A and B are shown apart, each in its own frame.
Chain A
Amino acid sequence: QVQLQESGPGLVKPSETLSLTCAVSGYSISSGYYWGWVRQSPGKGPEWIGSFFHDGNTYYNPSLKSRVTISFETSKNQFSLKMNSVTASDTAMYHCARHIITGVSYGLYIWGQGTMVTVSS
């Protein structure tokens, strides 16, 4: 059974960098599928942040692209999200997820429970 688990600081100061990790169990991220990050701010709909394939192909939401980096470590079977210059508007529940079929254009099928990140001084 494939499981994803997010981890990282729950509180980040404005202008600093948000760093989260997604640990994957039950499937090797180097075996296939796109893997990504989605966030949901309180009272709003979800927002896709970006997704990657183990060959290095990575797609980002154009509205966040300048501040976001998604990386992965196949040896640890995990991937990470870094978002710099955060503001209060980046306060959200952050989920990692796997797409249902190999291809970024297919729905996000397996999700982590999410980790809440608050941006505040």
Chain B
Amino acid sequence: QSALTQPASVSGSPGQSITISCTGTTSDIADYNYVSWYQHHPGKAPKLMIYDVSKRPPGISPRFSGSKSGNTASLTISGLQAEDEADYYCSSYINSDSTWVFGGGSKLTVL
């Protein structure tokens, strides 16, 4: 399975909204609603921000939202804050192969 495709970097100013895209294929994102997004600050454990395309785990701010259209999933962060600066990874479970694939990651810079 190929890795999912994400932009290498995204940026925004405090208070703005940004969207990170994650492009897969008809074999992963398009076919299943098992897309997750992770936030990773260097030196810390990754943090699950979104699962099942658009669900937020307990304690995750509603500023984080997820969606999907065709073979592209998106993570939107509204009201950007300095602490949102991190690497973000998308992932999708492929039911037919019983495996997870991840994107290469997007580095979010809060200007």
Contacts and interface: CB of A to CB of B under 8 A. Distances in A.
Interface in A60-108: 60-62, 95, 100-101, 104-108
B65 interface: no
A95 B105 CA distance: 17
Contacts of A59: 98-99
B38 interface: yes
Main secondary structure of the interface of A (DSSP, over half): loop
B48 A44 contact: no
A106 B51 contact: yes
A105 B101 CA distance: 11
B36 A48 contact: no
Interface in B56-111: 57, 89, 91, 93, 95, 97-105
Contacts, number: 66
> By CB atoms of chain A within 10 A, which of B89, B97, B100 has the most?
B100
Interface residues of A, number: 23
Given A106-B51, A107-B51, A46 B46 contact: yes
A107 B91 contact: yes
A16 interface: no
B3 interface: yes
Given A45-B89, A46-B91, A111-B46, A104 B98 contact: yes
The 7 closest A-B pairs by CB, nearest first: A107-B51, A107-B36, A48-B100, A111-B45, A105-B93, A45-B104, A45-B102
